[in-house]
Copies of this chain bind each other. A is one copy, B any other.
Amino acid sequence: MPAAQTPDPRQHAFVQSILATAHSLSANSPNRASTKAQGVGSAPVNIALSKYWGKRDAVLNLPQNGSVSISLPGLGSETQLKPAVAQDSVWLNDQQLDASAPFAKRLSEFLNLFRTAEVPFFEVVTQNSVPTAAGLASSASGYAALVLALDDLFDWQLPMTQLSLLARMGSGSASRSLYPGFAIWHAGQQGDGLDSFAEALDAPWPEFCVGLVEIDVAEKPVGSTAGMQQTTAACALYQAWPAQAERDKAVIIDAIRAQDFSRLGATAEHNALSMHATMIASWPPLLYWQAESVIAMQQVWTLRQQGVEVYFTMDAGPNLKLLFLAAQKKAVSAAFPGLKVIEPFSS
């Protein structure tokens, strides 16, 4: 039996209060507790245009501030989930993970929240089309896909906002990965965490492009959760972050609705740099950038000086994600050979 079989009581209560609303679990449902042989789910990665950085409640994964994201179709996770008998088994990209691997342990702890008498263990088979832990938030698509697979396996038929709450327990940014296009994760205010979910911002923008500049796809030396803890605990400048992040979020939502790309790009880049500034101003310092990150940033600024309107955002890693409109695709691609360009609304 895995060590972490007993879930945290607050987490367990949170999940139970959501599952109590599930169609299939309600007392008068004809489909009550109709566990399938297999559940499947798939979800895209997402890139935050205004960032989630810092938790106000680490147990319930509640953020200090809201955030806005864009999902990247074609990059993400596909998960199959089956009941298992003796223990969890986790397969990632056709490789079985050792139960002691950090990834498998974290997954099993999350699954502790969902075990039943009928399904004491799970077999999780995931295909990730993005490098794990490279700043492309594979945990976001991973937990979103897993929650969709759980919903399918147990036939809960929960609405997306409720699944978003569950995905948040696995990884904060997973709350946003349930949706295509733009998504808003509300910080929420309640202590019970039931108002901190993401929802779709339905505003298709066919010209909107994201370019992935891969500096380094190696595992991050300091994961996001540890990085957030370091920043919130030991960075004086961080005290100004949550208010800025909320302001940036509001500006970006407005800019998306108005299709004001200059405003969106400038605010997203400023927001990302401000988040990195809080890391840099922590002690010990937390610098996710590499030399090549700085070169790529300077290249973006040079392009802008030359009239090519492109902005960048960065997550807790060295890679840049470029934001531009389709009209600039050629110029941006010429400056960044090998750039992977994704058009979230043109598929």
A280 close to chain B: CB less than 8 A: yes
Which of B235, B240, B292 lies in contact with A239, CB distance below 8 A?
B240
Bound together, the chains give a CA A283 to CA B277 distance in angstroms of: 12
Instruction: Report copies per complex.
Output: 2
Q: A273 with B269: in contact, given A240-B236, A291-B292, A291-B294 (CB under 8 Å)?
A: no
- Smallest CB gap from A243: residue in B: B236
Chain B proximity mask over A226-259: 1 for CB below 8 Å, otherwise 0 = 0000000001111111011001000000000000
Chain B residues with CB under 8 Å of A294's CB are: 287, 289-291, 293-294
24 sample A-B contacts, Cβ–Cβ < 8 Å, listed by A number: A235-B274, A236-B240, A236-B244, A237-B237, A237-B238, A237-B240, A237-B241, A237-B274, A237-B278, A237-B281, A239-B240, A266-B283, A270-B285, A273-B281, A274-B280, A274-B281, A277-B278, A277-B281, A287-B294, A289-B294, A290-B294, A291-B292, A291-B294, A293-B294
- The 7 lowest CB-CB distance pairs between A and B, nearest first, are A291-B291, A277-B277, A277-B281, A274-B281, A236-B244, A237-B237, A270-B283
CA A241 to CA B240, docked complex, whole Å = 10
A86 at the A/B interface (Cβ < 8 Å)? no
A227 to chain B, nearest CB (A): 14
Bound: A291/B301 CA distance, A = 15
Residues facing B in A292-338 (CB within 8 A) are 292-295, 297-298, 301
Q: Which residue of B lies closest to A245 (CB)?
A: B236
A82 within 8 A of B: no
Chain B residues lying within 8 Å of A276, measured Cβ to Cβ, are 280
Q: Could you list which residues of chain A lie within 8 angstroms of chain B, going by C-beta atoms?
A: 235-241, 243-244, 247, 266, 269-270, 273-274, 276-278, 280-281, 283, 285, 287, 289-295, 297-298, 301
Complex Cα distance, B278 from A278, in Å, reads 9
Q: How far is the CA of A143 from the CA of B294 in the complex (A)?
A: 33
Given contacts A237-B244, A270-B285, A273-B280, 10 further A-B contacts (CB under 8 A): A236-B244, A237-B238, A237-B278, A270-B283, A273-B281, A273-B285, A274-B280, A274-B281, A290-B294, A291-B292
Q: How far is the CA of A335 from the CA of B261 in the complex (A)?
A: 46
Q: What's the Cα separation between A246 and B287 when bound, in Å?
A: 24
- Residues of chain B within 8 A (CB-CB) of A290 are 294
Residues of chain B contacted by A285 (CB below 8 angstroms): 269-270, 273, 301
Complex Cα gap A197–B221 (Å): 44
Most buried by B among A238, A239, A240, A293: A240
Contacts of A277 in B (CB 8 A): 237, 277-278, 280-281
Chain B residues closer than 8 Å to A238, beta-carbon distance: 237, 240
Nearest opposing residue in chain B for A236, CB measure: B244
Q: Is the beta-carbon distance between A297 and B287 smaller than 8 angstroms?
A: yes
| Complex CA–CA separation, A266 to B285 (angstroms) | 10
Closest CB-CB distance, A7 to chain B, in whole Å? 36
A274 and B236 form a contact (CB under 8 A): yes
Q: Which residue of B lies closest to A275 (CB)?
A: B281
CB A233 to nearest CB in B, in angstroms, measures 13
